[in-house]
Amino acid sequence: MIPLITIEGATASGKTALALDLAEALQTSIISADSRQVYTELNIGTAKASEEEQSRVKHHLIDIIDPLQIYNAGSFIKDAEPIIKQNHDCGKLSIVCGGTGLYIKALLEGIFEHQPIDPELRTKLKARLDTEGTEILYRELSILDPVFAARISSNDVQRILRGLEIYQATGKAISKHWQEQPRDSIYSTFRILIDLTRDELYARINQRVEFMLQQGLIYEITQVLNKGYSSQSPGLKTLGYKEFIPYLEGSRSLEECADITAQHTRNYAKRQVTWYRKCDFDLTITSPGISISSVIDRITAKFNDR
């Protein structure tokens, strides 16, 4: 089996900092498991590692598609597996770091197989989206597949459509497919969870929104729009971007949009925390500043026992 380290946790919990320190100590690279950091142009609002951080440690699977494209768990597996294998062949551990739980779940457990879905089904769902709106489709998904709906944002159009099309095409919810799929994995995994208190996590989220604005988030969004992308582009439907479109259109103040962004991010973090409670971890970190050497000792002990 291939040894693999994952660093998981809610947004703004400190995953990047831990991953950087651990990757430097192990002389390896970081594979991003973040469904939004894959987009070029979107840097500040997705909290990508800075240029200085990327110069310290090589990062994979960031800046690989433009905001018009769609990326999913299948794409992530296809892109991540060769990197993990190459590291393994070179005698290096791979570190997968990110808060997109679906990606890491898919990597470790695989994706369920199903017959090809008629493209017309997605076309009809998109037509319904245009006429009925996201809220109604999300409500429908919550009835058909409450487990999956609880794990995604009520504004996550891509996954809402995916959940509905899988149910309509197969007659079975995505969550049910997950339960029934084989769980053999090619990886021996050391999973790390950063699990801060709610108050600390929410405070960090609020600070992050303020920091992003100070770093020039509004300018970044304006530049992306000026390059021909629209507010309906898949990338710009990202949390932390779509909330500021009303400000640029003149219908809301910057302060209102910032407050809404922080609230939506806290709501997202709450769903992430719920997701992680259903997973098993080898190490749970409840406060920043853990000794990297102690983490490495735990990792070494597990892999040596195998």
Q: Give the model confidence (pLDDT) of 119-153 as tens digits.
A: 899 899 989 998 999 999 999 999 999 988 887 87
Neighbours of 247 (CB within 10 A): 18
Q: Which neighbouring-strand residues pair with 6?
A: 96, 191
User: How confident is the prediction along the chain (306 residues), in pLDDT tens digits per residue?
Assistant: 999 999 999 999 999 999 999 999 999 999 999 999 999 999 999 999 999 999 999 999 999 999 999 898 989 999 999 999 999 999 999 999 999 999 999 999 888 777 788 889 989 998 999 899 999 999 999 999 998 888 787 878 888 998 999 999 999 898 888 777 766 688 999 999 999 999 999 999 999 999 999 999 999 999 999 999 998 898 998 999 999 999 999 999 999 999 999 999 999 999 999 999 989 999 999 987 889 999 999 999 999 876
HSE of 196, CA atoms in CB hemisphere, 13 A = 22
8: helix, coil or strand?
strand
What are the CA-CA distances from residue 249 to residues 224, 226, 231, 238, 257 (Å)? 15, 14, 11, 17, 12
* Domain spans, the chain: 2-111+181-305, 119-179
CA-based torsion, 191, 11, 223, 216: positive or negative = negative
Domain 119-179 in the same topology as domain 2-111+181-305: no
Q: Which CATH class is domain 2-111+181-305?
A: alpha beta
- Write the DSSP string, 130-176: HHH-HHHHHHHHHHH-HHHHHHS-TT-HHHHHHHHHHHHHHSS-HHH
Q: What angle do CA 254, 153, 226 make, to 5 degrees?
A: 45
| CATH number belonging to domain 119-179 | 1.10.20.140
